[in-house]
Chains A and B, each alone.
Chain A
Amino acid sequence: MIRVDPSLCIGCLSCSNVCPSQNILRTETVEERRIRWKRCREECDLCVELCPARALTLVPIDESAPEPEVSFPLVGCRICGRRYAPEPMLRRVEAALPKSQSPEWVWDCPACRRRAEAERTTGEMVAARRRRRG
Chain B
Amino acid sequence: MAFYVDIRRCIGCRSCEVACERVHGGRGHVQVHFVGDSASVPLFCHHCEEASCATACSFGALFKEGERTAFDVEKCTGCGLCSLACPFGVVWTDKIAHKCDLCDGRPEPTCVATCPADALSTDFDLLARRARSRAARAAAQGGRR
Residues of A within 8 A of B (CB): 12-14, 17-18, 50, 52, 85, 89-90, 92-93, 96-98, 101, 103, 105-106, 109-115, 117-119, 121-123, 125-126, 128-129, 132
Contacts and interface: CB of A to CB of B under 8 A. Distances in A.
Contact of B52 (A85, A97, A115, A117): A97
B43 A117 contact: yes
A125 B52 contact: no
- The A contact surface, by secondary structure, is helix
Contacts of A118: 33-35, 41, 43
A122 B41 contact: yes
Nearest to B138: A128
Interface string B66-94: 00000000000111110111111110100
Interface of B: 5, 7-8, 31, 33-36, 38-41, 43, 50, 52, 55-56, 58-59, 77-81, 83-90, 92, 95-96, 144-145
A94 B7 CA distance: 31
A129 B85 contact: no
A90 B145 CA distance: 43
A96 to B, nearest CB: 5
Contacts of B39: 122, 125-126, 129
Contact of A52 (B55, B59, B85, B89): B59
30 contacts: A12-B79, A13-B79, A13-B80, A17-B77, A89-B80, A89-B81, A90-B84, A93-B81, A93-B84, A93-B85, A97-B85, A101-B52, A106-B84, A106-B85, A110-B83, A113-B86, A113-B89, A114-B31, A114-B88, A114-B90, A117-B33, A117-B43, A117-B88, A121-B7, A125-B7, A126-B35, A126-B36, A126-B39, A128-B145, A132-B144
A73 B46 CA distance: 31
A113 B89 CA distance: 6
Contacts of A106: 84-85
A110 to B, nearest CB: 3
A131 B36 CA distance: 15
Given A18-B77, A98-B50, A121-B7, A110 B84 contact: yes
Contact of A129 (B38, B83, B90): B38
A121 B56 CA distance: 25
A-B pairs, 7 with minimum CB distance: A110-B89, A113-B89, A118-B33, A52-B58, A14-B77, A122-B39, A12-B79
